[in-house]
A and B are shown apart, each in its own frame.
Chain A
Amino acid sequence: MAEAVSAVLLAVVLVTAVVRPWGWPEAVIAAPAAVIVVATGAIDPHQALDQAKRIGPVIGFLAAVLILAQLTEDEGLFRALGRWLARDAGPPRRLLARVFAVAATVTAVLSLDATVVLLTPVVFTAAARLGARAKPHIYGLSHLANSGSLLLPVSNLTNLIAFAATGLSFPRFAALMAVPWLAAIAAEYVVFRRFFRSDLYAPARPQPAAEPVGVPWLVITILGATLAGFVVTSLAGINPAWAAAAGAAALAVRGLARGQTSPLAIWRAADVAFLVFVLALAVVVAGVTDNGLAGVLDRVMPSGSSLWALLATAALAAAAANVINNLPAVLVLLPLAAAAGPGAVLALLIGVNIGPNLTYTGSLATLLWRRVLREHGEEPDLGEFTRLGLLTVPLALVAAVVALWAGLRVIGG
């Protein structure tokens, strides 16, 4: 009974998160569903509390990163990046290389949301200013928001959720993921250069730059200090979320003092409805995994830390992420991967982070629903984007997992 109730509730939560009936925030369905899971006894209240305790700090960390990203936007960081991207002429190949560098860095430091929401318009403007065709660069951003999110625990919500389960310190996580991150980006770059070769040779026609490039040193310094803070706090045994909070606080004080932001804007940047949704989803998923799903998955989940086991883990995670979305996928698979050790958890993250590039919407569920809605009228050429995904995803997955495997041998889990 408990099994059926929690499975149905999870299905309802996931479907409504994709369909979003009446434009409601996802939490409107997910939060009551979590309450029902606990009230019907599908999950022990203590277990629910444990899950909430695990996810709570993750959510705090996430809120700090979301606020940090929005405040850097208010400070003009993204406008400066746009001017840097378009600062001089040159073939569009050079713009693509710069877009890859900027997108990988922004995704790693400020998370994939920042790349998708804040960087996309900036890159489009830079391409237009240089007279370059925008498509390769925008598709590149869309890919790097996923495959560029391997490096740090803050780069992707999936990493934040899994970070504690790895038992690794912040710098150790980054050290193990640095080479896989570079390998995935390199794989994407090689494929993009070839795939879009007819668009990347067109001579660019720069327009006169409207304004000189001013470097927002203060924002960059605060971001650098925040990154250093991640390392220091982690080594001192303090939750690195505090470093993110301190960075966000420093920028918030400055932004408020200069009238660039308001308490309301900061509150909105934290996206409380999203935070509640993540917490509720975690509780509902725990209800399902505790009632039989874990046993089923345990049989398909590879164990051990051989190269094959890591590859199989990443492939399974990529497949799961593609069916519905990588957020529920990581919640479902994490307890099983965690039992196999930090290497397996990192392979899981490689899978759920790179896998969504097979579709331009991150999952088949969202893609199908958008096809049903036909909400936009204009769609990317589905065949083209899928061919691009079929070329990049397996290559990036294998490159990153092999790099991870080698790193585990050298550095150790």
Chain B
Amino acid sequence: MIVITWIVEGTWPACVDAARTVAPADAEIVLLHVTGGEAGAAAHGAYAGLMGRRRPSRDPGPRVAELGAASARELLEAAAGRLGRPCTTAERRGRAEREVVAAAEGADLLILARDGDDTRLGPRSLGPASRFVVDHAPCPVLLVWPRAVPAGPVPPPPGPGHEPPHPPPGRGPEPPHSPHRH
């Protein structure tokens, strides 16, 4: 049995704990982290936009990319330490949602954590990348709370005459058939 645990900044400890709990002793646990590269590329882009003062030695992009790689290594080490049993670590680069779905090919379970506010139940538990992964994962998915499950009632259903809520502006869910680019 192969259990893929998606390690994301902030929420990963809950995923590691879940892997330890649910994976049988003979299961192969893979700790997977994806470095998106957006931060380095955005830093490089901002520098490229400063007309007239581009000098490669001052470009913050490569430095940020380096820091990102180092931080990913540390994160995976910390995750392996917290798991406390044999596992493999995998670091991928690219669009997180695509890489996770690809890595889950042939796996028996994928563990990931909710995003967003974890102090109450609802309303939205998945950011765009996690949403894509849940929608496209080729294996069973275990979605865990980043911290203790919050207490509290589930909000009541909308009364009669209420339209279903519109997606808020900004990062609404992707339309179902929108093409996702690499």
Which residues of A does B touch, CB under 8 Å? 17-18, 20, 23, 26-27, 92, 112-113, 116-117, 120-121, 124-125, 127-128, 131-135, 138-139, 141-142, 145, 191, 194-199, 201-205, 271, 274, 277-278, 281, 325-328, 356, 359-363, 366-367, 370, 376-381, 385, 387, 391
Contacts and interface: CB of A to CB of B under 8 A. Distances in A.
A376 B61 contact: yes
Contact of B54 (A20, A195, A367): A20
B49 A325 contact: yes
A257 B45 CA distance: 36
B23 interface: no
B39 A134 contact: yes
A141 B63 CA distance: 15
Interface of B: 8-11, 13, 36-56, 58, 60-61, 63-65, 67-68, 71, 74-75, 93-95, 115-118, 124, 126-128, 130, 146-147, 168-171
Given A113-B53, A132-B10, A194-B170, A120 B46 contact: yes
Contact of B49 (A205, A271, A366): A366
A387 B93 CA distance: 24
22 contacts: A26-B54, A117-B58, A120-B60, A121-B63, A132-B10, A134-B68, A135-B38, A138-B64, A145-B46, A196-B171, A197-B116, A197-B117, A197-B171, A201-B116, A202-B146, A360-B41, A360-B42, A360-B46, A361-B46, A362-B46, A376-B61, A378-B41
Contacts of A281: 52
B169 A26 contact: no
The 3 lowest CB-CB distance pairs between A and B, nearest first, are A362-B49, A202-B10, A198-B127
Contacts of A124: 39, 43, 64, 67-68
B111 to A, nearest CB: 16
Contacts of B64: 120-121, 124, 138
Contacts of A113: 50, 53
Contacts of B36: 135, 378
A370 B54 CA distance: 14
A303 B56 CA distance: 42
B169 to A, nearest CB: 7
A203 B43 contact: no
Contacts of A194: 168-170
B60 A121 contact: yes
A94 to B, nearest CB: 13
Given A124-B64, A205-B13, A117 B47 contact: yes
Most B CB contacts (10 A, CB to CB) among A92, A116, A191, A362 go to A116
